């Protein structure tokens, strides 16, 4: 690997990600996410319920997505010093999360409803936005809320002229340019962009392309975790590997990706050994499994619908 | 069949007609008046159609930000409680909205975290004593009315009032490392000598509404309600992209088909907008923009 990334990753390599559903009992859906063992968060989805008549947001007939972000421990020294900056960060992140995730929900089927998302970031190393989107989308997929697609996300920075995917906090602090995207792969739609830096037209397009490739890789990882859940977790490794190679056209480092995958398995088994946690969500997890496979079915149907829709559009 | 207001609007955009008679690539009338507030060091009243923003810049000597010992500081506040119907406690949400807008414009001026310079530092030397004293600008904006494209109007107002700022010529005579209240500098001031802040490379926002494979410039409020997909680019006079943010309710860009065209459209608009603003004399302050293509 080209050096300089501290953790031995290549420039376009993401950290190993671990996802698990059914961690919050009583919620409609929930998910736990770990990225590279230094970013951890829990997202729970509540509802749909009737929306507040005078709530914030668009007209009272539309669906309302109510996002809350909590950062109980994951505060940098800067925030600690500034005191109130922590809540400012929570609020900004909640707004971004809402913007990013809303287009993936089939809002027409949830009119006048409110879906509540509670995101607790336990530990954070790098961008908060990207893992929050992944985890929320995964939690939504494990609930019964109708979606168009899994929402994926990726952050890219340019440090000393080099493009780096999935930066750590140290890399973020040194970044000259920074782009965060939320992207729905099966619809090929970018639903959220946040970028800051200095680009020409060409170089900005290049950064976007790299970021979208990162999102596509992340989709492969997320789908593999969904499939594991759907299959009851029988042979997780082989499945996730298949999916990873299935998305091979977007995967620059094939063998590297395989190793990555092995890396993901390690925390997975670690999680299973953790008895109390397992017992806590055991019943719920089994219940979720059937839902998830159902959900996967829905997703596939949605894809086909879209294809048909596209075909008719193209014919016209 | 067109049934709702949104459908009508989308059909209009396909036919390159909008409700107020503009084409998709046409801006509303933009008016910039400098010096509207007599006692401010720099001020501007900017109108895009019926969107009106009043901005005033004040100047002081302060400490630089951490990690940027030589660059100036820009702070922005936005008050948008005047332009919305406020009852009960919902002023809070507008208060927050104003803060969000302000932090976004601040980010535009300060650039990404890792860079050592802000936008203003590229052309101006705002450092008095490295690591101790730099020029600090506070831009206070009041939104008088919001009829869409508020960010565009805000960024134009900030840029125009910065262009209006005259900075006294100082000579730093002595720098003491430690004083009773932090570092001290001794300066000689000539009250009649001013230099004008150079703002040619200060970016402005260009907001695009996205409809299928088409894009629309300068949405008015009504159109913003119909158009959920919006993207805002911070673009400078050379067409360089400094910042990109999604619109209020998310953006749906059909990526592989559209993205190159949208980026190109935003850069083109930024270049044209700024070149025509910069080429207009102070006295003649009304222009109408048509981006073309």
ipTM of the complex: 0.82
**Structural domains of chain B sorted by starting position, each given as residue range(s) with its CATH number in brackets:** 5-284 (3.30.230.70)
pLDDT score recorded for residue A16: 86
Whether residue A108 is contained in a domain is answered as: yes
pLDDT at residue B187, as a whole number: 65
Indicate the pLDDT class of residue B249, thresholds 50, 70 and 90: low
The CATH number covering residue A95 comes to 3.30.230.70
Q: What is the 3-state secondary structure (H, E, C) of chain A?
A: CCCCCCCCCCCCCCCCEEEEECCCCCCCEEEEEEECCCEEEEEEEEEEEECCCCCCCCCCCCCEEEEEEECCCCCCHHHHHHCCHHHHHHHHHHHHHHHHHHHHECHHHHCCEEEEEEEEEEECCCCCHHHHHHHHHHHHHHCCCCECCCCEEEEEEEECCEEEECCCHHHHHCCCEEEEEEEEHHHCEEEEEEEEEEECHHHHHHHHHHHHHHHHHHHHHHHHHHHHHHCCCCCHHHHHHHHHHHCHHHCCCHHHHHHHHHHHHHHHHHHHHCHHHHHHHHHHHHHHHHHHHHHHHHHHHHHHHHHHHHHHHHHC
Q: What pLDDT score does B69 carry?
A: 84
The β-bridge relationship of strands A39-50 and A29-35 is: antiparallel
Domain boundaries, position A152: 17-269+284-315
Do residue B112 and residue A175 have CB atoms under 8 angstroms apart? Answer: yes
B113/A178 CB distance under 8 A = yes
Give A-chain residues touching B103 at CB under 8 angstroms: 92
Residues 62 through 101 of chain A touching chain B, CB cutoff 8 Å: 91-92, 95, 99-100
Cβ–Cβ below 8 Å for B250 and A174: no
The answer to whether residue A6 sits within a structural domain is no
Number of domains in chain A: 1
Residue A9 lies in a domain: no
Whether B89 has its CB under 8 Å from any CB of chain A: the answer is: no
- Among B245, B248, B263, the residue with its CB nearest the CB of A204 is B263
Q: Tens place of pLDDT for every residue, chain A, 316 residues?
A: 445 677 788 888 888 888 888 888 888 999 999 988 788 999 999 988 888 766 555 667 788 888 899 887 755 555 555 555 557 788 888 988 988 898 889 888 888 888 999 999 988 888 889 999 999 999 998 888 899 888 999 999 998 888 899 888 888 888 888 999 999 988 888 889 999 988 898 899 999 999 999 999 888 888 888 887 766 543 333 333 233 333 333 333 333 333 333 333 333 333 333 333 333 333 344 444 445 555 554 544 445 555 565 566 555 4
| Residue of A156, A196, A206, A210 to mutate for B, most B C-beta atoms under 10 A | A196
Do the chains contact at A183 and B255, CB–CB below 8 Å?
A: yes
**Does the global pTM surpass 0.80?**
no
Put simply, the answer to whether B231 touches A193 (Cβ < 8 Å) is yes
Name every chain B residue with its beta carbon within 8 A of the beta carbon of A198.
111, 115, 240-242
Residue A206 lies in a domain: yes
**Between A57 and B210, whose confidence is greater?**
B210
- pLDDT confidence of residue B61: 87
Residue A292 counted as domain residue: yes
* Chain A residue at shortest CA distance from B237: A200
Residue A1 lies in a domain: no
Minimal CA separation from B264 to chain A, in Å: 7
Candidate from B114, B240, B260 with C-beta closest to A199: B240
In a domain, A211, yes or no: yes
């Amino acid at each position: 690997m080209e050096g300089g990334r501290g953790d031995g990753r290549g420039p376009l390599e993401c950290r190993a990600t671990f996802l698990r559903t059914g961690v919050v009992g009583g919620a409609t859906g929930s998910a736990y996410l770990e990225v590279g063992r230094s970013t951890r968060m829990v997202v729970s989805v509540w509802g749909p319920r009737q929306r507040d008549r005078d709530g914030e947001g668009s007209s009272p007939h539309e669906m309302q997505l109510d996002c809350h972000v909590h950062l109980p421990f994951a505060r940098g020294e800067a925030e600690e010093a500034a005191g109130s900056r922590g809540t400012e960060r929570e609020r900004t992140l909640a707004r971004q999360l809402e913007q990013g995730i809303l287009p993936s929900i089939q809002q027409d089927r949830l009119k006048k409803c409110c879906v509540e998302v509670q995101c607790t970031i336990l530990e954070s190393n790098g961008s908060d936005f990207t893992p929050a989107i992944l985890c929320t989308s995964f939690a939504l997929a494990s609930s019964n809320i109708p979606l168009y697609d899994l929402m994926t996300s990726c952050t890219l920075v340019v440090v000393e002229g080099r493009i780096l995917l999935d930066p750590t906090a140290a890399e973020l602090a040194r970044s000259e340019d920074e782009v965060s995207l939320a992207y729905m792969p099966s619809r090929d739609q970018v639903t959220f962009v946040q970028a800051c830096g200095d680009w020409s037209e060409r170089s900005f397009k290049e950064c976007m392309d790299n970021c979208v490739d990162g999102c596509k890789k992340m989709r492969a990882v997320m789908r593999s975790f969904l499939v594991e859940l759907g299959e009851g977790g029988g042979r997780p490794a082989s499945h996730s590997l298949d999916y990873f190679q299935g998305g091979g056209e977007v995967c620059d480092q094939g063998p590297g990706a395989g190793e990555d995958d092995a890396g993901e398995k390690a925390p997975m088994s670690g999680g299973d050994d953790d008895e109390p946690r397992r017992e806590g969500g055991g019943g719920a997890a089994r219940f979720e499994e059937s839902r998830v496979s159902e959900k996967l079915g829905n997703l596939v149907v949605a894809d086909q619908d879209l294809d048909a829709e596209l075909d008719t559009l193209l014919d016209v | 069949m067109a049934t709702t207001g949104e459908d009508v609007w989308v059909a209009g955009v396909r036919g390159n007609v909008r409700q107020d008679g503009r084409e998709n690539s046409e801006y509303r009338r933009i008016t910039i008046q400098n010096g509207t507030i007599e006692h401010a060091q720099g001020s501007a009243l900017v109108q895009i159609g019926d969107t009106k923003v009043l901005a005033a810049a004040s100047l002081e000597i302060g400490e630089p930000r951490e990690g940027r010992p030589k660059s100036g500081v820009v702070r922005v506040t936005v008050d948008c409680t005047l332009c919305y119907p406020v009852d009960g406690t919902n002023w809070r949400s507008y208060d927050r909205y104003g803060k969000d807008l302000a932090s976004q414009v601040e980010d535009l001026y300060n650039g990404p975290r890792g860079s050592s310079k802000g936008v203003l530092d590229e052309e101006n030397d705002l450092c008095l004593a490295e690591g101790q004293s730099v020029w600090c600008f506070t831009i206070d904006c009041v939104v008088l009315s919001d009829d869409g494209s508020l960010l565009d109007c805000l960024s134009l107002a900030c840029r125009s009032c910065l262009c209006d700022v005259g900075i006294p010529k100082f000579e730093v005579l002595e720098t003491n490392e430690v004083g009773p209240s932090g570092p001290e500098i001794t300066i000689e001031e000539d009250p009649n000598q001013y230099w004008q802040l150079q703002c040619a490379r200060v970016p402005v926002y260009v907001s695009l509404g996205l409809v299928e494979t088409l894009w629309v410039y300068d949405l008015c409020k009504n159109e913003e309600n119909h158009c959920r997909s919006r993207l805002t680019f911070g673009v400078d006079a050379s067409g360089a992209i400094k910042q990109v943010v999604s619109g209020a309710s998310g953006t749906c860009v059909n990526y592989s088909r559209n993205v190159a065209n949208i980026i190109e459209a935003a850069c083109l608009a930024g270049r044209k907008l700024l070149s025509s603003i910069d080429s207009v004399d102070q006295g003649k302050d009304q222009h109408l923009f048509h981006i073309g293509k």
